[in-house]
Structure 1
Amino acid sequence: MRGYGAPQVVFAFESMLDDAATALGIDPVEIRLRNAAREGDANPLTGKRICSAGLPECLEKGRKIFEWEKRRAECQNQQGNLRRGVGVACFSYTSNTWPVGVEIAGARLLMNQDGTINVQSGATEIGQGADTVFSQMVAETVGVPVSDVRVISTQDTDVTPFDPGAFASRQSYVAAPALRSAALLLKEKIIAHAAVMLHQSAMNLTLIKGHIVLVERPEEPLMSLKDLAMDAFYHPERGGQLSAESSIKTTTNPPAFGCTFVDLTVDIALCKVTINRILNVHDSGHILNPLLAEGQVHGGMGMGIGWALFEEMIIDAKSGVVRNPNLLDYKMPTMPDLPQLESAFVEINEPQSAYGHKSLGEPPIIPVAAAIRNAVKMATGVAINTLPLTPKRLYEEFHLAGLI
């Protein structure tokens, strides 16, 4: 499960908050807006001021896209076997482990003979798209096309710059300062070499789209990075392979925020939940790669639906043996079980971040189950506080409530 620990706590908290809203007669979105963290509040984990807090904006944007008021009005005073409900839940999640853990990352950049750049980082690609984002960071900072940046994704602790690992949604946030620092240093060395070749002051030169240009005339290339690299490698008197390395400790940990909105139908007789629509809205700062971000959110939402409605490890009380140790008996949702997954983002720049971004890998799963539970409660009037909401569990709860 992504974000282990956080979904469980948020499920309890957001269920309790929703029950409070019901008891007080307050709209579930409104009670969350009243209690949402805002810029300037103290971060209870780090004690530092929160510099970006987009939870209110996420709730407002989600309420509009989802047509919350309209859908909620349609779910009032229902009778019969099929009943609709809408639910909402929020979350916050850190961008690394500091100050509980030490956060450090290293990066090494080397320019090749053809002007392309190799990147070595201790941060590991495990399918989340880290290498793609690291390429973007280096390309933007140095001033070259992304296609000219190659991340060597063969981490080896004997030779790779140090990094603690791939966990806690920390990779892009913690690795970014080291990558940016190394990229700026490499760019400085490139421009210094170009200044010697072109008999110019380094202050008058910059690097745009892989070409050396005058700051005052950026549209007129003076030299390609390939030509510069060849001179650096093979001029008999000056240069050498241009490289840069950096290792930086991170002492900031801005929280990401977001929420889930869900519309579902409960078949009371069959004890079955069908999701009609589900939407996640995230504040993860500046979105570095929209396509990868959308994929991350969709994956987390699917995992959250699995936790809420399907997945349960059954352990024999006497022997301790897992009774469903395979995918036949441990029910995971497949594509036909999932609805259309919708995502949206509120992009608020995080000033403590190297590229204005915050965590996104684990957050998408966190509020999903609570939103589904709250929607089931609205549809049926039954508050269920144990997951997953399987037909067996729904039957037991509905029977106790006198619905069946």
Structure 2
Amino acid sequence: MPAPVHAGADFVPVFLYVLGLAVFAQGTSEFMLSGLVPGVARDLSVSVGAAASLTSAYAVGMIVGAPVMAALSARWPRRRALAGFLTAFVAVHVVGAVTTDFAVLFGTRIVAAIVNAGFLAVAMSVATALVAPAQRARATAVLLSGVTLSCVAGVPAGALLGEWSGWRSAFWAVALLCLPALALVFRSAPADAARRHEISVRREVRTLKSRAVWSALMLAAMVNGATFATFAYLAVIATEVTRLPASAVPGLLAAFGVGAFIGVNIAGRTAAGQLRRGMLLALWSLPVGWAVMATTSGETMPLFLVTVVQGGLSFGIGSTLVSRVMHVASDAPAMSGSFATVALNAGAFLGPLLAGAVTETTGDYRDAVWVSAALATTAVAVVSGLPATRPAER
């Protein structure tokens, strides 16, 4: 890996924005299914529930794929790893766009998630290696900005494409969107070849025994679980609780994405993977915000305003916690990105499941937001139980 570039406090290599473009395409693919489920169910003659399971398939693929792909690619040249994962991602979207078999489509979602996880794990290790230590949080934020921008623009655009041209057009659009990033990866990615003696996957996995690493992973999973417990139900809350027309849903999702984008960028400029007072204050504010949303979601204006705020808090804190994982797992430079990816996607998978179990029992979709409040409160309790931070981390 080339030495980090020290070109000023605000310097971020242009190549990180190339990686951000790829992450934007992958984030769009991950989240766009929520708006394509009816079309998939109708076109492939399956139930809505079966079509909705494509989202769970992607989450499971991310959880399984992150550590496996990071371990397999740990000794690959970075350019080959990034290009290989991105090429496979394009290929499975082409297959998904043309298949008429739901089982094949389901399989492509799992494979897409696995290679997405591999790409993200390698991209995060590349990003943190290309910048000075003080800039690692900002480098992580550049990558995660791709995810938040996919919420703002990619997901609504995919929903519109699905409505105008059918769900297959959204798959084609994701494949095409990856091509410029793929070309730039071939041209600009570090071409170093990792030597076998430089990386020990077994030694890196042993960092999971660290209490600091486990705490950071638990926090990331709980915060993301809280985020997606509500995000998965935002559309239903808008139409069934707030009584908004379905046409207002893309705007509400975009509002969440705008807040997320702002939060990630603020976190990238103010944090360094450490539990500073500002981040702790934001974390303590998180359950309060979810409680406010749960109690005011019957009104349009409060719903939109709190959605923006919670999007900002959730993704800003999440971005900081990703940096935190990579900070405390610095002895695992090849695998730490995959640890963070697993934690985030475990939360994204389990949060909606827990929210679904609660709302099915109570019949009130607002209880999904109370699940978010409970998970965020648990995260606060975990932080409160941690040993006092060193002065450098305050």
Shorter-chain TM-score: what band? under 0.3
> What is the TM-score when the length of structure 2 is the normalising length?
0.27
> What is the TM-score when the length of structure 1 is the normalising length?
0.27
Structure number with the higher strand fraction is 1
Structure number with the higher helix fraction is 2
